[in-house]
Amino acid sequence: MGVEDSVTTVDTAADTATVTEAAATVEAASDDLQKYPIAPGYRVNVRVGPGTNYRIVRTLPYGMKVPVYCQKPGERVTGPYGTTNLWDNIANGQFISDAYVHTGSDGYVAPRCD
């Protein structure tokens, strides 16, 4: 038995165009999403998962408004808008507690994250 050599050719121009189109679609979709205000007077930590045990990736400035792409249950947190276990996905792999976001609801305002 012999080993067959295999060569895979990648069309980088086509791949780059596909990635660029996908990024433009995501950006356009985020422009259409409602943005919710963060509680006044708070700078909110953005984490990689739905809990305070997850790593902080950035901190939102005062007065920020955020889109909520999806929501998922996680650690229970108390903030200016009550106590909740809901966490809002505001960007790819970025979550903040719904207790700091004025959504006007105690429940889900976006689909559940997968």
For residue 97, tell me if it sits in a domain: yes
User: In this model, does residue 21 exceed pLDDT 60?
Assistant: no
For residue 53, tell me if it sits in a domain: yes
For residue 46, tell me if it sits in a domain: yes
> What would the two tokens of residue 106 be?
């105690």
Structural domain count, the chain: 1
Distance of alpha carbon 38 from alpha carbon 101, whole angstroms: 5
Domain hosting 91: range is 34-114
Distance of alpha carbon 41 from alpha carbon 83, whole angstroms: 18
Digit-coded pLDDT (tens) for 46-104: 999 999 999 999 999 999 999 999 999 999 999 999 999 999 999 999 999 999 999 99
CA dist 114 → 2, 69, 93 (Å): 44, 11, 12
User: Considering the entire predicted model, what is its pTM?
Assistant: 0.73
For residue 42, tell me if it sits in a domain: yes
- 100: CATH: 2.30.30
For residue 112, tell me if it sits in a domain: yes
For residue 66, tell me if it sits in a domain: yes
